[in-house]
Structure 1
Amino acid sequence: MIITNVNLVLPNEVVKGSVEVIDGEIRSMSNTLSQLPQAIDGNDGFLMPGLIELHTDNLEKYFAPRPKVDWPPLSAMKAHDTQLIGAGITTVLNALALGDHRGKLRHEILDQQINTVVQSQKNGTNRVDHCLHLRCEVPHNTTVEIFERYINTPGVQLVSLMDHAPGQRQFVNIEKYRTYYQGKYGYNDAQMAEFESQQREYSERWSAPNREEICGQCRSRNIPMASHDDATQAHAEESKDLGMVIAEFPTTMEAAKASRDLGLHVLMGAPNVIRGGSHSGNIAAHELATAGALDILSSDYYPVSLLDAIFTLAHDPRNKLTLADAVKLATFNPAQSLQLHDRGVIEEGKRADLLLTHYQHGQAYIDSVWREGKKVF
């Protein structure tokens, strides 16, 4: 397969030319246009590596599309997979919550989601390469037990540690915490006060021992780990000491810069880029990009935001990111953070996970997606 008349988004530049794919790998590239009649004409679009998503909780929306409504697992998986490939994502880590205090539903469908991801990958029915990201809510008495149930599951590529207790990390601002949970669950003031008190108690009792235990088990298995919502330099130093390689959604410039100085890859949400800031009132992703403290983008809860955020950052005069730089935030950098060295870049010998898109009227419109040289969209 030859794709020609495209703007090849390479690691450090964009070059007009062609790419040749053989047996699912990129065999060669050229800065000239192919004259072969069988070559695919990219119509002057941008050809970039398929996007790599490290943290999306989008899957559970399909398993439970409405309260008290569960959906057939393989049908839910198919819909999720279709949305991701339509967003240009060719590798995804489905982030599933363990020990989450925010409702029983996630626990009830957890087995089903994990089994479905594993089975659909085994069946070969997915168009995206689906892996697992275990999100461990550390201030909970069941977290380690649930973690140990799933840690040896095929496809686990990342483990993150979270503490959503009031006054901690994402919710240092207590008013933001109350606004979020009262809006989410409809708590009145008395119910909210009881919930808040309970979460503080859980955090004080379980966060530290659970964090140490889970990190120790991940290190022994050589499974990459991510911190979550670090807010201070002390948080970043703790994450480094525990063996983290990614700092997910740091809430302050202090934490982001400290994480980066310590060698962690700083991950921020693409929705934060599109919306111009954090819905929790924390640091804006574009501020980190301007400061040179942003390494990875994640679509988080909105898959299409990943590609849109790339172009948004590349066109933002407040930072110095070129399109090649911005593309690496969702391709090369996430691949490197997980040591997935076979993908994430248009380079000879790498997997032909490719995305062809045109940028028109301020939006990126996807034309085609290939995974390992096979057209899947």
Structure 2
Amino acid sequence: MSEPTEPLVVSGGTVVAPDGALDRGRVVVEGDRIAAVESADDRTATDDRTAGPGERRRIDAAGRVVLPGLVDLHGDEVERYRFPRSGERVDAATALATADRLALAAGVTTKFDAIAFEDAPEKNRSIEGATELLEAVADGVDLVADHRVHARCEVTDPASVAAVGDLADRPAVDIVSLMAHAPGRGQFEDAEAFASRYADGRGAAADEAARAGRERSGVPEATVRERVAGLAADLGEEDVLVASHDDADPAAVDHAVGHGVDLCEYPVSLAAAERATDRGAATAMGAPNLVRGGSLWGNLDARAAIDAGVVDLLCSDYRPQALLASVFVDTGEPLARRVARVTSEPARVAGLGDRGRLEPGARADLVVVDPDPTPTVTRAVVAGREVYRCGP
């Protein structure tokens, strides 16, 4: 990890600025901020050719693409690093450090770790374990990227509702998503689908999931909506971004947005996504959905939602590498728009106005990407420090 004691110049590559891509562009970093973004034809006093030896740090980005550091509002892979195999549990700090390094390799410099606050043995989840992960994020020991907490609340579970309600004033918690995973709701069309998908088809775990499905199905719709309204109001008072999750019914979107939800993540139907957009809420889809070319379970196709103009941002969901790969999926849009969907737009929605853009004054988070044959991060800079290097 290099210290930002001298200016850093990243030059020679395609620099993706907010207004478009600059061929053979250059980014100049001073301290933890971007000082200049220039095209090949716009040389100023910051020209690195005039600097003497040792006066500047340099990264040669020739043949590569320079992007703002990616901002991921929902990535839950840290839970899998905590339990690499059933029965093996890694301590929270180690799991988070693993997630941190792999996030940088995937181009993510601001990470909202999605942590489920629910007691669900079939998913290796517990409120106690979630709290340990939250504390590890808050401590920030041995972390390089900027980590924050995206707390996931299962509103059919009173214990989850109570636990998340107590998190409202925790500084590390920036996002809370409200979800009702139950048979007949959202992506789970029936009890069989819930048991199979929620436990990933694992024998005994599937039996536990089936039991959970029966319990959750018994929670009345009125109770679910009452809990959503109460949590959204309480969390909103603490400036926590509140998201709804897996909405299929436009009426559910109306209810959520009407009570303070500002982000609709992973809508199951186009009608739900369109309603969120009409109501002024941001809409997030999964990057794996776009990269794969469709939903894993036959839900709303991310490309179709983009074509309909109802996707503001993408999240890595469960596959960090997909966020970077999504930038290079040709959606018929300019490169700068595709980049914005994983940088400036999630930063804006999360209230982080200091990052996600390559422009003077912005926080100096950026990545250098070799686009062929597979988009690969070769350099990563966080707050002006070069923190990751792969290859020559």
TM-score by length of 1: 0.91
Paired letter, 1:2: V
CA 45–276 in structure 1, closer or farther in 2 if over 3 Å, else same: same
For residue 357 of structure 1, what is the aligned residue in structure 2? Answer: 369
State how far apart, in whole Å, the 1-side matches of 2:205 and 2:322 are: 33
For residue 28 of structure 2, what is the aligned residue in structure 1? Answer: 20
State how far apart, in whole Å, the 2-side matches of 1:258 and 1:195 are: 30
For residue 4 of structure 2, what is the aligned residue in structure 1? Answer: none
SS of aligned partner of 2:368: strand
SS of aligned partner of 1:176: helix
For residue 375 of structure 1, what is the aligned residue in structure 2? Answer: 386
SS of aligned partner of 1:376: strand
For residue 10 of structure 1, what is the aligned residue in structure 2? Answer: 17
Q: How far apart are 1:101 and its partner, in Å? A: 4.2
CA contact (8 A) 2:183 2:194 kept: yes
Aligned residue among 201, 204, 219 for 1:184: 201
2:68 corresponds to 1:63 = no
CA 72–140 in structure 1, closer or farther in 2 if over 3 Å, else same: closer
For residue 109 of structure 1, what is the aligned residue in structure 2? Answer: 129
State how far apart, in whole Å, the 1-side matches of 2:27 and 2:61 are: 11
For residues 156-190 of structure 1, the C-alpha deviation after alignment (integer angstroms, 9 at most, x for no partner) is 11111001111111223555334424643426998
SS of aligned partner of 2:381: strand
Answer 1 or 2: which has greater helix percent.
1
Paired letter, 2:378: D
For residues 218-239 of structure 1, the C-alpha deviation after alignment (integer angstroms, 9 at most, x for no partner) is 1221211111011122122112
2:148 corresponds to 1:131 = yes
Paired letter, 1:166: P
2:92 corresponds to 1:81 = no
State how far apart, in whole Å, the 2-side matches of 1:359 and 1:31 are: 20
2:343 corresponds to 1:331 = yes
CA contact (8 A) 1:141 1:206 kept: no
Paired letter, 1:35: R
2:250 corresponds to 1:233 = yes
**Bigger shift: residues 101-110 or 216-225:** 101-110
State how far apart, in whole Å, the 2-side matches of 1:331 and 1:359 are: 17
TM-score by length of 2: 0.88
For residue 162 of structure 1, what is the aligned residue in structure 2? Answer: 179
Q: Which runs of 5+ in 1 are unaligned?
A: none
CA 213–101 in structure 1, closer or farther in 2 if over 3 Å, else same: farther
Q: How far apart are 1:144 and its partner, in Å? A: 2.5
State how far apart, in whole Å, the 2-side matches of 1:288 and 1:100 are: 33
Q: How far apart are 1:104 and its partner, in Å? A: 7.4
Aligned residue among 151, 168, 179 for 1:151: 168
CA contact (8 A) 1:100 1:137 kept: no
Q: How far apart are 1:195 and its partner, in Å? A: 4.3
Q: How many residues align?
A: 368
Aligned residue among 47, 50, 62 for 1:43: 62
**Bigger shift: residues 291-300 or 108-117:** 108-117
CA contact (8 A) 1:99 1:138 kept: no
For residue 225 of structure 2, what is the aligned residue in structure 1? Answer: 208
Q: How far apart are 1:75 and its partner, in Å? A: 2.2
Q: How far apart are 1:197 and its partner, in Å? A: 2.5
Pairing 1:257-268 to 2, within 5 Å after superposition: 257-268=274-285
Paired letter, 2:168: I
For residue 53 of structure 1, what is the aligned residue in structure 2? Answer: 72
% identity of equivalent residues = 30
Q: How far apart are 1:68 and its partner, in Å? A: 1.6
Aligned Cα RMSD in Å?
2.1
CA contact (8 A) 2:154 2:161 kept: no
State how far apart, in whole Å, the 1-side matches of 2:94 and 2:209 are: 36
Paired letter, 2:131: D
CA contact (8 A) 1:246 1:267 kept: yes
For residue 334 of structure 2, what is the aligned residue in structure 1? Answer: 322
SS of aligned partner of 1:202: coil
State how far apart, in whole Å, the 1-side matches of 2:121 and 2:218 are: 15
Q: How far apart are 1:13 and its partner, in Å? A: 0.8
CA contact (8 A) 2:33 2:362 kept: yes
Q: Which runs of 5+ in 2 are unaligned?
A: 1-7
SS of aligned partner of 2:138: helix
State how far apart, in whole Å, the 2-side matches of 1:196 and 1:3 are: 52
Q: How far apart are 1:373 and its partner, in Å? A: 0.8
Q: How far apart are 1:342 and its partner, in Å? A: 0.3
Paired letter, 1:197: R
State how far apart, in whole Å, the 2-side matches of 1:97 and 1:323 are: 34
Q: How far apart are 1:205 and its partner, in Å? A: 7.3
SS of aligned partner of 1:356: strand
